[in-house]
Structure 1
Amino acid sequence: MLFYVIAILVIVMDQISKYLIRIYIDINETFTLWGIQLTHIENSGMAGGLFLGYARLFGFVAVLFVIGVLYIRRTEEMKGALIDSSFGFLVGGAIGNGIDRLLFGQVTDFIIRSGGVLNLADHAIEIGVLLLIIYAVVSWLKKKQEIL
């Protein structure tokens, strides 16, 4: 259940934030909200504007990724709150950006950070990757202890 709650929250928060940015902020307009610098850009590629014009292809890849995660959740022995949280953030972020790519042919980004301009789905994916790394390390340590 945790997986679904996190994924749905990420999707909803991501899509609402992007909708508000698209409606109220002009492209390339920069402003500050609660001390966070934001600017509205539209990215038809992937991270950092790489591969511009391939948004729909990346949207299709996001669909395949989500199918893969759902398959892994059903067939693998990966269980527990940590992996469910990781997969929830990853799937929520993939769907959030996938919706933009498939519907609009580009992703709305607005959160300025060193290394580029991101959105909530991007941050969710980063959290999901971090949790996945933690899960892998914890699993490895548990297996190592079992051997000893």
Structure 2
Amino acid sequence: MAIFYWIALLMTAIDQVTKLIVRLNMNVGDTRSFREGILQFTYYQNSGAAHSSLQGYGRALGLLCAAFIVIVMYYRSKQASNRRWMDVGLAFLVAGAAGNGVERLLFGKVTDFLQFGSGQGIMNIADLCINVGLLVVVVQQIVLAKRTREKPSY
């Protein structure tokens, strides 16, 4: 149970600190290479969702993030406490929603700055958390489904 809160709080904090560092040290549109061709920091402000869809709906998306967090907390309260990997996945999802949700509610947009490879989308730590969370939850569900099928029924 505690692992959920530690991951969610730590990753939300890391997300917020990295975004603050970018906002304080770069101008929108600036690019700095870290590993040529692998990773560069490009400061972008996204008032929409993934891949710059839904531009201008930042605050509404912030409300969706808050609703998602409430739903996850409710879901967790109704589940068995022995689902460690599900908690890990949900913690990353909540961290991603919280990290981007805070900025959307405060500023109407999120700070994106991580660009992997050339021509790829720009993201932030919260976006990475969402990807990790989804991966963990999907793998957990596949493992549970496989275990359920392999149990002999008497």
TM-score range, shorter chain: over 0.9
| Separation (CA, whole Å) in 2 of partners of 1:145 and 1:88 | 28
What is the deviation of 1:48? 1.0
Q: Which residue of 1 aligns with 2:146?
A: 141
**How big is the alpha-carbon RMSD for the aligned residues of Structure 1 and Structure 2?**
1.4
Q: Which residue of 2 aligns with 1:118?
A: 123
What is the deviation of 1:146? 1.8
The equivalent position to 2:83 in structure 1, one of 64, 80, 84, is: 80
Is structure 2 residue 136 aligned with structure 1 residue 128? no
| Separation (CA, whole Å) in 1 of partners of 2:35 and 2:26 | 16
Is structure 2 residue 37 aligned with structure 1 residue 32? no
For 1:126, what is the secondary structure of its paired residue? helix
For 1:102, what is the secondary structure of its paired residue? helix
Is structure 2 residue 93 aligned with structure 1 residue 109? no
| Separation (CA, whole Å) in 2 of partners of 1:121 and 1:41 | 14
| Separation (CA, whole Å) in 1 of partners of 2:66 and 2:82 | 22
* Runs of 4 or more above 6 Å deviation: none
| Separation (CA, whole Å) in 2 of partners of 1:116 and 1:105 | 20
Task: After TM superposition, list the pairs within 5 Å mapping 1:7-86 onto structure 2.
Answer: 7-33=8-34, 36-77=39-80, 79-86=82-89
Amino acid of the structure 2 residue aligned with 1:5: W
Amino acid of the structure 2 residue aligned with 1:84: D
What is the deviation of 1:45? 0.3
What is the deviation of 1:78? 6.7
- Structure-1-length-normalised TM-score: 0.95
For 1:122, what is the secondary structure of its paired residue? helix
- Structure-2-length-normalised TM-score: 0.91
Amino acid of the structure 2 residue aligned with 1:146: K
Amino acid of the structure 2 residue aligned with 1:89: F
Amino acid of the structure 2 residue aligned with 1:135: Q
For 1:52, what is the secondary structure of its paired residue? coil
For 1:124, what is the secondary structure of its paired residue? helix
| Separation (CA, whole Å) in 1 of partners of 2:44 and 2:82 | 38
| Separation (CA, whole Å) in 1 of partners of 2:34 and 2:138 | 32
| Separation (CA, whole Å) in 1 of partners of 2:25 and 2:90 | 32
